[in-house]
Amino acid sequence: MTDRRQLAEAFLAAHGFAGAARRPLPQDASRRAYTRLAGGALLMDAPAPEDVRPFLHVARHLARIGLSAPKILAADAEAGFLLIEDFGEATHAMLLDTAPEAAQRLYGRAVETLAALHAAPPPPGLPAWDSAAMVVATAATFRDWWWPAAFGAPASAAAAAGLARALTAMLAPFEGAGCFVHRDYFPANLLDLPDRAGPAGTGVIDFQDAAIGHPAYDLVSLVEDARRDVAPAVRAAAIARYLALRPELDPAGFTAAMAALAAQRHLRVAALWVRLALRDGKPGYLVHGPRCWAMLGRALAHPACAPLAAFLDDAVPHHLRCNPRDMAPRMRDTAPSVPHLKFAAVRLPSASGH
């Protein structure tokens, strides 16, 4: 038995779950692992460098404002173990997969919860999700992983500086909103709780990376999902519902913010799939690359995205705006069981074609 396993067993025993039947849940892109326990609890195992304290902080905030975050049943923050309430398996992602006709209802409920989350004053101590932070995050995937995989060499100093300038120019006009942002508000992190009314009817999880930023970022995460297609009518209805719930917002300005934040998110996440494949041996995420590149193309057509569109037009030919073609040999070096993979280019529409 590993030391980590022994620590987990001791934590469970100390809180009355020593003999509970358990079932590990599929792991996502992070190092956190979850185990479903008989008795209505989940064990979160978050080894270093993961830190459960942001999760605890945000969970308490969500509970204070009347939203449904998992209750904290027990915690050992130093060791990285939590026992949390189990909301069950009815994620919006699962329900959309099995009952796509429920999309309007589920996205409507998700938007109702999101509007309440954004309208409440944020808790203290959250980091900034501003242009500076987004430039760093984009560089860590697009510049450091996608670029060398696509071009066969690291980005030059001039290219790196040009990317940073373009992102800053595009994003800076939308700073200062001072809003709580979840940062991964999409169906896999939302659960249907039909016995709870109003905004509490959607359970919210995976919020440990919450920050202070612009509310459009979370709505983009929801209706321009990197992992699933969202029907245009569902997307339009969700945006209209959000704006109706927040009449203090300027619709034109909010639409521009959505475009700029979508462009940043889609570029970063398209490259994140490459990092997960090459660094972490998780090539399965590459299936989402074409969707992200296509959504990036649509976002770039908005005038608010002109700085990034100009940079990409100068630096990245359209035929390269896709999953890099020559990744398979390097993936075999780090994950020998990965078969040879080829990905077709996804051409982005020009601004005039929007």
List, for residues 55-107, the tens digit of each pLDDT value: 999 999 999 999 999 999 999 999 999 999 999 999 999 999 999 999 999 99
Residues 154 and 75 in one domain: no
Residues 78 and 98 in one domain: no
Report d(CA 251, CA 232) in Å as an integer. Answer: 18
Overall number of domains in the chain: 2
Predicted model pTM:
0.90
Mean pLDDT estimate for the chain: 92
- The CATH number for 58's domain is 3.30.200.20
**pLDDT per position as a tens digit, 232-252:** 999 999 999 999 999 999 999
Place of tokens 């987990």: 8
Q: Inform me whether the pLDDT recorded for 352 exceeds 80.
A: no
Phi, psi of 213 (to 5 degrees): -165, -150
Residues 184 and 253 in one domain: yes
Residues 35 and 98 in one domain: no
**pLDDT per position as a tens digit, 145-190:** 999 999 999 999 999 999 999 999 999 999 999 999 999 999 999 9
- The CATH number for 182's domain is 3.90.1200.10
Report d(CA 44, CA 46) in Å as an integer. Answer: 6
Q: Are 185 and 222 within 8 A, CB to CB?
A: yes
Residues 165 and 202 in one domain: yes
Instruction: Mark which of 51, 69, 85 sits at the end of a domain.
Output: 85
Residues 75 and 162 in one domain: no
Using 50, 70 and 90 to split pLDDT, how confident is the model at 351?
A: very low
Query: How many other CB atoms are found less than 10 A from the CB of residue 300?
Result: 27
Could you list the residue range(s) of the whole structural domain that residue 25 is in? 3-85
Tell me what pLDDT residue 31 has. 84
Tell me what pLDDT residue 331 has. 56
Residues 100 and 74 in one domain: no
Residues 76 and 96 in one domain: no
Helix (H) or strand (E) holding 310: helix 306-315
Work out the average pLDDT over 99-125.
98
